[in-house]
Homo-oligomer: A and B are copies of this chain.
Amino acid sequence: MACNTLVDITTLSPKFQELYAKAKDFVENECIPAEPLFAAQMGQGDQRWKVIPPVIEDLKKKARSLGLWNLFLGRDYAEGAGLTNLEYSLIAELTGRCPHLAPESMNCSAPDTGNMEVFAKYGNEAQKKKWLEPLLQGKIRSAFAMTEKRVASSDATNIETSIVRNGNEYVINGLKWWISGAGDPRCAVYLVMGKTDPNNKNPHRQQSIIIVPAGTPGVTVVRPMHVFGYDDAPEGHCEIVFKDVRVPLENMVLGEGRGFEIIQGRLGPGRIHHCMRSIGMAERALEYMMARVTDPSRRTFGKYLYEHGTIVADIAKSRMDIDQARFMVLNAAKRIDQVKAKGAMKEIGMAKAIVPTMLLTVLDRAMQAHGAAGISQDFPLARWYASGRTLRYADGPDEVHIAQIGKVELRRAEGIKQQFEKRDNASAKLLAQNKPKL
């Protein structure tokens, strides 16, 4: 079991402990057992993109009735459930144990969470009423259209989509891809990033975020992108063409040129939620591994699997890898509570750099212990691996986070060198005072 005395749930508020217990029960006894039914209710062929397995709505109702709803919206939001980031992180670990059902059941699934934050933080009243309200109710879903196919859009200054004001409308042209959730028949709205002022000397004032209702003429969902072999229907990660798409002026969020500011605000906590769900996924992977290696029907050459080679060591390493990573995530969450996401960039960056690789390592060991079954449709491990693999570049590739952490750390160098000099002086004085007599 996870060794987590530093963040002892029994020391948190009784109200939270009760919520936590309810969430745990809901995930373990409602969501996880529903996974086979969800799979059975998935459509075949094209229907996979049109049918939402009904069990999802059942679970949503149940979660809502239990008060397990919109928990991601923290203390800063009137609409929120009032959890701290630390508290929500603990909940997110639970939902991560059943990643395809639990987050959505509790209306806490990406990308809706980030989009709701955008509407809540930057939307005007009309926008909130039209889009935030039904999102908070779990009646519609949404997508965030930023990544572009033809440029390296992880550097947002490279974005090419144009948003041109034309009379009382904006006209949008561009080619996006990897737009998660855009394949879902319930997806009602896109938040689209583009440039309203591509020649602005300040490269961070060129971009805007604009609301485009799904189905607006000129919007074509071209195809779902595959992650390893998975298309992740019905949500999907879609390639979308915006061709002379027209929306009214009031669809602009916050104002022209404020797009960069919005995406900055959208990040931060979200990264930690991904991380914490990954911890939950890793825990469940380790459980699968332990069940397998102690399964009498999997004995070979007269031994249980766990008695072979390095498997016990792999289990120990997974235990340690998970626990270490969890501390880094909880630490970042608590830091956000103290100084907001901006002040916790280093802690967030470290969690973001550590967790995805940890998750993949733990999953890989679990898959290896299962042999061929481990990478098949009969276990969720390979699918989680595929999904976890995206986290090594989503919201910035590992390399960028690591370089950034190094740079922040190096800011200490000057102070250290001054301290060294001070100490060297003190040492010299001591030596002079104590001429060695030997």
Contacts and interface: CB of A to CB of B under 8 A. Distances in A.
Interface in A313-370: 313-317, 319-320, 323-325, 327-328, 330-332, 334-335, 338, 346-347, 350, 353-354, 367-368
Contact of A299 (B152, B316, B414): B152
A118 to B, nearest CB: 22
Interface residues of A, number: 127
A1 interface: yes
A293 to B, nearest CB: 8
Contact of A413 (B36, B37, B291): B291
Contacts of A414: 294
A376 B309 CA distance: 30
Given A316-B353, A325-B324, A310 B55 contact: no
A186 interface: no
A397 B368 contact: yes
Interface in A401-438: 402-407, 409-410, 412-414, 416-417, 419-420, 423, 426-428, 430-431, 434, 436, 438
A178 B372 contact: yes
A12 interface: no
A34 B291 CA distance: 45
B44 A375 contact: no
B434 A55 contact: yes
Nearest to A346: B3
A297 B410 contact: no
A234 B350 CA distance: 42
Contact of A327 (B152, B227, B308, B328): B328
A229 B386 contact: yes
Contact of A306 (B5, B51, B227, B410): B410
B32 A155 contact: no
A147 interface: yes
